[in-house]
Amino acid sequence: MSGAHGVLALVHAVALVGLTPHRVRIECSRATGLPGMRLVGLPDTAVREAEDRIRTAIQRSGLHWPQERIVINLAPADLPKVGTGFDLPLALGVLAATEQIPADSLVGLCACGEVGLDGSIRPVPGTLPTAVGARDLGTGRLLVAEAAAGEAALVEGLRVVGVRDLIDVVELLRGDRRPRATLPAPTEVPTSGLDLRDVRGQPVARRSVEIAAAGGHHLLLVGPPGCGKTMLARRLHALLPPLAMDQALEVAAIHSVAGERAPDAPLSLAPPLREPHHSISAAGLIGGGSGIARPGELALAHRGVLLLDELLETPRWILDALRQPLERGEITITRARSRVHYPSRVLFVAATNPCPCGHLGDPRRACTCRPDRIERYRARLSGPLLDRIDLHIEVQPVDHEQLVGAADGESTALVAARVLAAREGAAARWGAGILARDLDDQQLRAGCSPRAMTTLVRAIDGLALSARAFDRSLRVARTIADLDATEVIAPDHVEEALAYRLRVPVGT
């Protein structure tokens, strides 16, 4: 019976809690007792069901399933293990414990993949963050389904080996064949085809979109239905510069965890654009779900644009959940069994009607709302969330003759070049990736001329604006100065920035 206690097979896998990788040691041993498999170490149902999958797969692949008891421990035993990605490492453990593959072939190897009954290896959601995790945990080689190999190979500093089925794996690990070369998935910069030139009129809204893109300022568009709020928001997205490689990986990793990314899709360098419907739940927006919280729309819009149309139709308490993540650029979801962090550096664009009927301030149609109802409607908007939005724009409907007339504005290419230049200017001054919205108070004041400061103080006083408006306006003025390619904030910049605060509604 010495063989029964012979090999203690050890395979490494990665368990993801949100995007955070944890190394999982899969210890596999033959033991005395009735034939069968015993799995310990907090497996979830999907992991528990792996037994049936891998037993059938091993048998159907012409490999040997031992008529003994197999004990498998997933260590650390107190970390919850979720999903079918553990199928492949578990199968490797059984094969190594039964000496069908050499145990030393598993050293420095990490595996991830779902096993089908026919022995084929299939990709699982979250391959990309698993690969990032495997590299960060110091693993040299990652074994994944061939279909997901391109995605995993995007991670540099890791040897990715794609495999098709169990036979393929066994041949490879026995040294019978050389691993096939894996090419990283291609990257692409999809262009949305939305041009700012399509927006007729709206010079102020257009300018605000440019400022928002340059400084990463959150934007609120208030205007009657059909005046082009959504159109503007989508074009704001098209103005953002393409993502850097590491940023694109970060974004793809979140989408991969959420299962929103086909494993063989090319890596997109375009910033994401998320437009959830206003009936969205709090969990859908900020992330959640049972067990380990999945990323919500907020995290999925990381490094891109989160557009909430009909903002005031979403319940107030759901919107309030956005406050902290917008400020910190990160969201932490704490559940009974896990604590998950997702990055959420989004450009938040909100659009809303000016009043319940939508026609306040529309020269063509009369508003039918009572003034107190307008006030109550707007009160929902005011408060802490509004405080975090730097740019408030009233969008007016466009005249018909302008709609059919020739395009009168600048094209996206032209504006995007200015946005990029402004961002590069800011990055040269403050560091890579730093935008005006990330600056602290001291940095902001340092770049402001004394005359501009006096102008700002006088204006805040004269227009009865809050202290919060002071900070926000200075921030926007910084971006305007960057767009102007000037180092120091001038009075003109401050005065323009002050124009992007919400005006008093009609009638007060």
Partner 1 sequence: MSAAFAGLRSAAADVAADGTDPDQLATIVAFSGQPRVQPDVLRRRDRDGDRGRDRDGDCDRDRDGDRAGTIASRLTALAGPPTATTGAVAERLLATWRADAVRVALIGDPAYPRCLAEGWPELDAPVWLAWRGQPPGHAPGVAIVGARRATSYGSGVAAWLAEAVADAGIRVVSGGATGIDAAAHRATTGRPGGTTVVLGCGHRVAYPRPHARAGGLFDQILDDGGSLVSEALPHQPPKAHQIRARNRIVAGLAAAVVVVEGGERSGSLLTAGAAAERGRAVLAVPGDIRAPGSAAPHRLLAEGAAPCCSPAQLLEALGSSVPAAEHPGGEPGSGGGSLGGAARAATDAPAAGTVRATTTLPPAVHAALVGAWPRPVRLEDLARTAQVPVGGLLAALTRARVNGEVAEAADGIRLRRAPPDTG
Task: Give the binding site for partner 1 (CB under 8 A).
Answer: 201-204, 206-207, 354, 360-361, 363, 366-367, 371-372, 375, 394, 396, 398, 458-459, 462-463, 480, 491-493, 495-496, 498-500, 503-508
- Encode burial over 345-361: b for 16+ CB neighbours within 10 A, e otherwise: bbbbbbbbbbbbbbbbb
Write down the least CB distance from residue 492 to partner 1, Å: 5
Closer to partner 1 by Cβ: residue 275 or 492: 492
Query: What are the residues facing 24 on neighbouring strands?
Result: 13
Closer to partner 1 by Cβ: residue 387 or 484: 484
CB-count burial class (<10 Å; 0-12, 13-18, 19+) for 234: middle
Closer to partner 1 by Cβ: residue 336 or 504: 504
Question: How far apart, in Å, are the Cα atoms of 345 and each of 318, 322, 363?
Answer: 18, 12, 38
Write down the least CB distance from residue 412 to partner 1, Å: 17
Write down the least CB distance from residue 499 to partner 1, Å: 4
In this structure, how many other beta carbons lie within 10 angstroms of the beta carbon of residue 44? Answer: 15
Closer to partner 1 by Cβ: residue 192 or 454: 454
Write down the least CB distance from residue 226 to partner 1, Å: 16
As a three-state string, the secondary structure of 270-334 is: CCCEECCCCCCCHHHHHCECCCCCECCHHHHCCCCEEEECCHHHCCHHHHHCCHHHHHHCEEEEE
Closer to partner 1 by Cβ: residue 32 or 508: 508
Confirm if 93 and 28 have CB atoms less than 8 A apart: yes
Closer to partner 1 by Cβ: residue 138 or 203: 203
Closer to partner 1 by Cβ: residue 123 or 354: 354
**Total residues found in the chain within this entry:** 508
* Alpha-carbon gap, residue 386 to 311, rounded angstroms: 11
> Would you tell me the crossing angle of helices 203-215 and 229-239 to the nearest 10 degrees?
40
Side chain identity at residue 486, one-letter code: T
Note the maximum CA span of the chain.
Answer: 92
Write down the least CB distance from residue 415 to partner 1, Å: 13
Distance of CA 375 to the CA centre of its chain: 35
In this structure, how many other beta carbons lie within 10 angstroms of the beta carbon of residue 5? Answer: 11
Closer to partner 1 by Cβ: residue 245 or 506: 506
Side chain identity at residue 505, one-letter code: P
Write down the least CB distance from residue 401 to partner 1, Å: 12
Write down the least CB distance from residue 130 to partner 1, Å: 48
Write down the least CB distance from residue 163 to partner 1, Å: 58
Provide the pairing of β-strand 8-17 with 20-31: antiparallel
Write down the least CB distance from residue 273 to partner 1, Å: 25
Closest CA to 124 of 205, 200, 43, 15: 15
Write down the least CB distance from residue 254 to partner 1, Å: 36
* Alpha-carbon gap, residue 157 to 163, rounded angstroms: 19
Closer to partner 1 by Cβ: residue 83 or 223: 223
Closer to partner 1 by Cβ: residue 184 or 356: 356
